[in-house]
Amino acid sequence: MNSVTLNESGDTAAQARFTRCLAAGLGALLLTLVAFCIWSSQAESYVDLRYFSMIPSNTQAGGHPDVRIEMGWDASTIKEGEFGAPPNHPCACDDPRRILQHFPTGFIGNPHATPRCELVEFSFGRCPPASQIGTAEPFGSAEGEELYVPLYNLMPHPDEPSLTAFWAPLVGAPVFITLGSRTESDYGLFAEGSAIYHPLVFPGLNINLWGVPADPIHDPARFKVPLQGFAACGSIFGCDEVTGTSANVPLVPYLQAPTTCGVPLTSMAELEYYTGELLTGTDEWPATTGCEQLTFNPSLTAQPTTEQADSPSGVDIELSVPQELSPTTPSPSQIKASKTTLPVGFSINPNAADGKVSCSDADSAIGTRGPATCPEFSKVGSLTLDSSALPQPIPGAIYILDPRPGDPYRILLAADGYGTHIKLAGSVEPDSQSGQMVISFPDLPQSPLTAFNMHFFGAERGLLATPTHCGTHRVESEFVPWNNALPPQTSVSQFSVTSGPGGGPCPNGPRGFSPTFKAGTANTTAGMHTPFSLELNRPDGQQNLEAISIKGPPGFAATLRGVGRCPDATLAAVANPAHSGAAESAAPLCPAGSQIGTAIAGAGAGSQQLYLPGKVYLGGPYMGAPLSLAVVTPAVSGPYDLGNVVVRAALNVDPVTAQVLAVSDPLPRILEGIPLRLRTIRVDLDRQGFTYNPTSCDPFAVQSSVAGSEGGLASPWAPFQAASCVDLSYGPKLNLRLSGGLKRRGHPAITAVLRTQPGEANSRLVSVTLPRSGLLDNSHIDTICTRAQFAADNCPEGSRIGQAEAFTPALDQPLSGSVFLRASSNKLPDMVVDLKGELNIELSARIDSVGGRLRATFRSLPDAPISRFVLRLLGNRKGLLINSRNLCRSTHRAIVRMVGQNGMRSRKRVPMRMQCGSKASRHKRHARHSRAKAVR
């Protein structure tokens, strides 16, 4: 009986039915109709609804009372001297066109409780007595019975939920009444008589509906078959010949009272007539009693479509609500609200919405009597709905509804059949920390639903994902009855997960953890700028990814010159929930100049992952590191926009090797209640002119350290080796200059300048052996910085012996810093250059003696491009060197040995330039040298 709508073309359908009745053999009534119309045409009707009432025979909650409906309106008055109808109008009648009666909320009808009379049988007065559901008094009054006719349960049109009809006495005009449900609001019962035949004027209508039509108590008013003409009973006609028979069918309730007590209930009537006026009337329904006598025992089971762990799955949910259809026992209470809690681990699958759309509130038709018209791609399941008011279950579908703030995962249950269009909105509420789901329907109608069978689609893009471990899992449901005298009821069921993904064995204890890893550059040519990519994959069924760190090979780095930074405040704004993923995709907040690459994250159980694209930005200092990466991924899938995921990675640079170590934040585990089950992480650093290869062709590796969610730790690596190193040139130039303290026993200052050309291999080793004239003055070694002091950046001032500056095409600004003597395991302390700037680099030189000459050797220099390097060692009182002779009296050369990262070598005797004599003397010597050179 609960129907969604009266057919929108109800007037047309009713007129068609009327025409078919006439065509079925009622032509003999035309003279009567014409005479009645002529009589009516002499009057002008001014219709007022004088009274309305709807009274049940008893007030038992869930009972099956008879209902007496009375409504009346003022009749017309006849104007003297007027006869005949106006031109082009069949009657001068302000007669009713439509009568609508609303039963109170929770009052239910069951049109399938009795046999149905076919329209042709009704036309010839041959409806079976068992199809009679009451009587109608179309000329009745509130004061007493005048005349009544049988009211029959007819076979409706497929688009109508239920149809009743009676023949108006005297004129033989049929009046059709459609019964349906207010599915636009409270799903209450209504009765609507539309397109009433125009000349049919009657001042009132009383209807007696039988709660149990086959009950013998109604036999005295049950009409026999065949009827003699269009029979009626009452004060005008006798009843003995036309009434008094039994139904001879089982006693099945036709009506059911509300199952709520202590709640004010109201009935209402509307009258619309051909002049266009609309009148209404209301009546207070008697208070319902006896709610404590009702039962309420719903139950629910939920079963995934697979018994494999950590796999995409659908779910079959079966809800049973026993409804006893006894003519003497009140019906059980209906469900007002339901809440089903699925076990922890049985969660929404991240890839479920990929390729889906949502159904708008307008398309859902909630709040209307029409059917839902949701897009096919919003469908996520199927259902069947059964009701004691339906002859058999009706089919339907489950749709994704448009998300709302605070209620993003809305679903719609829509079922259609027997002129009924049911739409029920619910929500899937996942826990923000665990992802545990609660499926709730907070506002179910007072309808006699007996079964809900819901099937959420499974397969590789299943809406859900099973728990990660085998075992028995508990499903708990709570149901709130409409009967406010009964407490909520709970139902518990279980399901089992019996195997691993793909049918493999169940994991015992922590799951395995062996992620795969790939990394490399697009072009392996040594020293070339080229994009770099890495990809991490977690096999299905293994521990989830928690964190990752990546260590690049020596010499692999990036050119930071000209690259912007995405500020911390901007990244915070990106991660703010108020900033949507769609907005970020359309207009990224980070400066375009700070983007250095792209990223893709794959999530979800099963082989069909959800892949979400993102962008990689260069950020500033983070977690103690000088630089950082920020991966921004808009979390948009199908109709869901969950904002933006920002994962940062601190970029630590090894000061000795210049290797880059990227250490990520903890990877997101859950987002808006959806466990992500991250499977794939791919990062492409593809900004033009950004990353570049080493100039060494030694075999290296890109190393990783990956943490799992259950304590697992893996260190997958990918081989890395540059090529064509022999094609790189190598010819750096080193200039040495001494100044101040050039006489014997003087302490000169030393300036060393190393220059390279673009495209050369970087240096691996630089060794400078001073001439024999330079000796180490131990008395000038004031103090030595310990390794602990150096690590703490707290070397004493006495250990500082100079300054250095490094210019590189990779950075916007040069690096500079002090030179210290640092404790060493060798006989002499090491000379350490502590360069600072955008990055901190440490260059350590071993000081020793070879062949009576003092030597400083920088071993294991980082494979980094240096266009110019300047080293200035202090002289005089801070000078470590003491001259064994006057340096200005002869030429002194140092032996410079260098080895490139590509293996090429260079050995030169480099003259040490001096600043000897006064400025004027140096001027004269320079002039003589120029003249001699010109003569030559």
For the stretch 361-396, pLDDT in tens is 999 999 999 999 999 999 999 999 998 888 889 999
CB neighbourhood size of 55 (10 A): 14
Its pTM stands at 0.82
- Band (233; pLDDT cuts 50, 70, 90): confident
* Percent over 70 (pLDDT), the chain: 88
329 pLDDT higher than 70: yes
779-803 burial string, b = 16+ CB within 10 Å, else e? ebeeebbeeebbeeeebeeebbbbe
The 10s digit of each residue's pLDDT in 799-820 is 999 999 999 999 999 999 999 9
CB within 8 Å of 388: residues ≥ 6 apart? 110, 323, 325, 331, 448, 450
448 pLDDT higher than 80: yes
Residues 631, 640 contacting (CB under 8 angstroms): no
**pLDDT number for residue 824:** 93
Which 8-state DSSP code applies to residue 86? P
Range from 44-48, 153-157, 556-560 that averages highest in pLDDT: 556-560
Alpha-carbon gap, residue 317 to 452, rounded angstroms: 8
Residues 430, 407 contacting (CB under 8 angstroms): no
Mean pLDDT of 436-454: 92
- Kindly write down the DSSP assignment for every residue of 370-410, as one continuous string: SPP---GGGEEEEEEEEETTSSS-EEEEEEEBPPBTTB-SE
**pLDDT number for residue 88:** 47
Rg (CA), the chain: 47
For residue 737, give the nearest of 603, 909, 871, 865 by alpha carbon: 871
Q: What are phi and psi of 523, to 5 degrees?
A: -130, 130
Alpha-carbon gap, residue 397 to 372, rounded angstroms: 10
Q: Is 131 helix (H, G, I), strand (E, B) or coil?
A: helix
4 pLDDT higher than 90: no
91 pLDDT higher than 60: no
Mean pLDDT of 832-839: 96
**pLDDT number for residue 920:** 45
- Band (27; pLDDT cuts 50, 70, 90): very low
The 10s digit of each residue's pLDDT in 283-305 is 999 999 999 999 999 999 999 99
- Band (934; pLDDT cuts 50, 70, 90): low
Structure-model confidence comparison of residues 516 and 279, the more confident one: 516
The 10s digit of each residue's pLDDT in 174-231 is 899 999 889 899 999 999 988 777 666 677 889 999 999 999 999 999 999 887 556 7
2 pLDDT higher than 70: no
Alpha-carbon gap, residue 450 to 391, rounded angstroms: 12
Structure-model confidence comparison of residues 933 and 101, the more confident one: 101
Place of tokens 């089971």: 301
User: Which helix or strand (DSSP H or E) is residue 476 part of?
Assistant: strand 471-481
Alpha-carbon gap, residue 432 to 437, rounded angstroms: 10
Structure-model confidence comparison of residues 50 and 911, the more confident one: 911
Alpha-carbon gap, residue 363 to 372, rounded angstroms: 6
- Kindly write down the DSSP assignment for every residue of 706-736, as one continuous string: EEETTS-EE--EEEE--B-GGGS----EEEE
Strands (E), 169-203: 173-181, 189-194
For residue 194, give the nearest of 18, 62, 67, 36 by alpha carbon: 18
User: Which helix or strand (DSSP H or E) is residue 397 part of?
Assistant: strand 394-400
* Strands 627-637 and 610-619, sheet pairing: antiparallel
Alpha-carbon gap, residue 197 to 18, rounded angstroms: 8
Alpha-carbon gap, residue 165 to 133, rounded angstroms: 10
Place of tokens 């010597």: 925
For residue 172, give the nearest of 274, 69, 13, 34 by alpha carbon: 34
- Band (782; pLDDT cuts 50, 70, 90): confident
- Band (145; pLDDT cuts 50, 70, 90): low
Q: Find the DSSP H helices in 785-851.
A: 787-791
Tokens of 896: 């410079």
Residues 76, 45 contacting (CB under 8 angstroms): yes
Mean model confidence pLDDT for the chain: 88
Which 8-state DSSP code applies to residue 304? E
Bridge partners, 301 (sequence order): 318
3-state helix, strand, coil in the chain (%, to 5): 10, 40, 45
